[in-house]
Structure 1
Amino acid sequence: MFDDTISALATPAGGAIAVIRMSGSKAIEIAQGVFSRDIANAKGGTFHYGEIKGEDGETIDDVIVSVFRAPHSYTGEDGVEISCHGSRFIIQRILALLQRHGARQAEPGEYTRRAYLNGKMDLSQAEAVADLIASTNKVQHQLAMSQLKGGFSNELSSLREKLLKMTSLMELELDFSDHEDLEFADRSELENLAKEIGTRILNLAKSFETGKVLKTGVPVAIVGKTNVGKSTLLNAIVGEERAIVSDIDGTTRDTIEDTTTIGGVLFRFIDTAGLRKTEDKVENIGIARAMEALAKAFVVLWVVDGQPSAEETERMAKLASGKRLYVIVNKVDLPHSHVSLPSSIRTIEISAKEGRGIAELESVIVNDLDIPELSSADVVVTNARHYSDLMKAYHDLMRVQDGIDASLSSDLLAEDLRPVIDDLADITGQERITPQETLNNIFKHFCIGK
């Protein structure tokens, strides 16, 4: 598919070892021109120790060259990987040498783009490569790996097959419209198929709420009155002095955010300005931002250092409605009155200053998320583009279901069904449905005139 050969550094700078990658029809030929050993006829998946030689015959570095033969490579093309020492000087010399022999510098993402265009992966799997590289914890890694291994793609493929079956039933009825006694598109069967497919599409779309949170970090708002220890709590959780701590009310005037991984899950903790009435314009801006953070949070840590008033309790319960709310009773190292709250509100006692109760708090919030142990078989949507296409497919399918309920003709139903298949195809970058594909599916499932 591609006439040129590309080259690029595949590893971050600064390591002891670097890997330079080439891909394209001339990758092995170009490598042979600069390598001291014969690899022209080397089998794919083999490794060869030798020297990279400059045009003057000078040895640039001792290296290991890995040979990959199409289509058994990442891109589906012939490929070579040169493992050399991580010196920037050595890397630059080897790259320049390869480019003088005909391998141009690769563009960002071009290797994965070639893999997609050569059919080694679909578009959703290509996007998973970026997610895998960016993963910083166990859950993110599992979500990306599941998508990369084709879990999401397989589910979409299964849905496509069922949609093609529906289309085939309708097309058959059109082809045999002159036979009034034949009805291939049984309305009850079509209705059941539409409901099943709709449920599966909607369940995938609903998983995006969880997937997005797990991918970007569970947002946790730390809220409460001034000087109750919110900033001290943030510092205790993330393990560093991220927020300024003082005895002066209103020290925190803006939101301060930091991330940390607890139990394999990424959390985004947001320290907010103390909630109180004030004439200070800057502080009021901070309080407004605190309310925004609270509205967007998945978990709310309401910090108190004594018994809150009934009015305050009612207000916080209302603001945190629909979220996981925990009352964090801080400063238990100091004498204060017993805090009594409704049993429906989870209460955790801590001393943020001394670190007491922090481990329990972390354990509670991660366990209460009730995240199942993920495997490569689990399908959780983490990409906003995928979610958008799934919802579009669902709404298009609801139009088909309405048509079935209204007893529309098969030709109109088939016309409305095609956008649903195309919406799902957009997720993986698959070609949109063609008449030939519909025809093939008809003959795959039926044997007419035999």
Structure 2
Amino acid sequence: MFKIKQNYNPITTSTIYAIVNNLPCAITIIRLSGPLVLKTLNECIDELLEPDSWRTSTLTDIPNPINKCTTRWQPSPNSPTGEDYAELHVFGLRKVVNVLINKFKGLGLKQANRGEFTKRGLDNNKISPKEVIEIASHYGLKIKSSAIDNIKTAFKTTITKLESTNYQNISVKINQLTTRLITLIKTSIKQNNICLVGNTNVGKSSLFNAISKRTRAIVDDVKGTTRDVLKTSFKDFNLWDTPGFDQTNKNSKFITNAWTYIDNAGVIAMVNNNQPLKPFLRIKHKAVIVLIESKSDLIHKLPNQNEVIWTSAYTMEGLPQVINMFKQLTRKTIITPSQITALTLLKKCKLIKNINTKFDVLKTTNQILNKDSDETTTAYNLTNYLCYGK
């Protein structure tokens, strides 16, 4: 008699959860994916539902009437992630969500990273790399750009020329490539920063508050009320409100601090209040500059002007156009791990004295830099910048 040894495959993937919306809100969506989804649902709602269906459920351990939720369950493999998958649509109250999170943690669930649901869909062939790249582009995320293509071309041209000239001026060439790669990385990182600049009392702080949907900046008729840089962040961009530039008898450190932010902005939003513009700002880097005319309460009666957006923080007119413009201008080129590794190798390459070794490291750097051209690699890199729960 032979004893057959059975091999059991242990569970290799953890079960993850993600809170999709910012709290508090009316309704928040909680997504779950992994082998413990059905067990988790059994702990959270009063009665399990049929696969591939929606049902109104009652949350356990949460008082009426905030214990109502809509539940969806899809077993593997016919789900968005290829694993057991569920959604809970619940009241967006911290009291409700905290009870559920404590249950999740007690069952061993892990909070999802950015784009982890999409990444699991990739692993299980539920979504293609091409589709991920297309989805990411709608979020303003991309890896391929003309600037990156130019860097790759520069590497290829440099290596070919060095081979033909017996590595002549190799140190100079490496320094040039290092500078170009550093510039690319710095530009891509700061492209999603938007700086509101302008003279005092032109409406920068009112515009900042209106876009932020909360009162962060103090608004007053007295000039120079904003003395420090105020910051707020959105999914697509960071917004900074700076002090006015015609302040007198004010501490110079506030203006100096503002310049630090201006130098790290990808978009400079010049705010004016229908007064003749006087030049007061010299931009040292290639930022995008836009002109916003504030305090324009009757936009429909104002004359059309090219490249000028009329806004009113009082009536909220023009704000959707401003926000959409900011989103378009801050579409980001993602810096990948390969590009960071390439820069690290270039810096090490500069310290190598042996010419042959130096050239070999340069070729290795070129190979690493070109790894991102693979569609699957691109898709995986982009998932790290998607939303939580995506």
TM-score, normalising length: structure 1: 0.45
Larger Rg, first or second structure (1 or 2)? 1
TM-score, normalising length: structure 2: 0.49
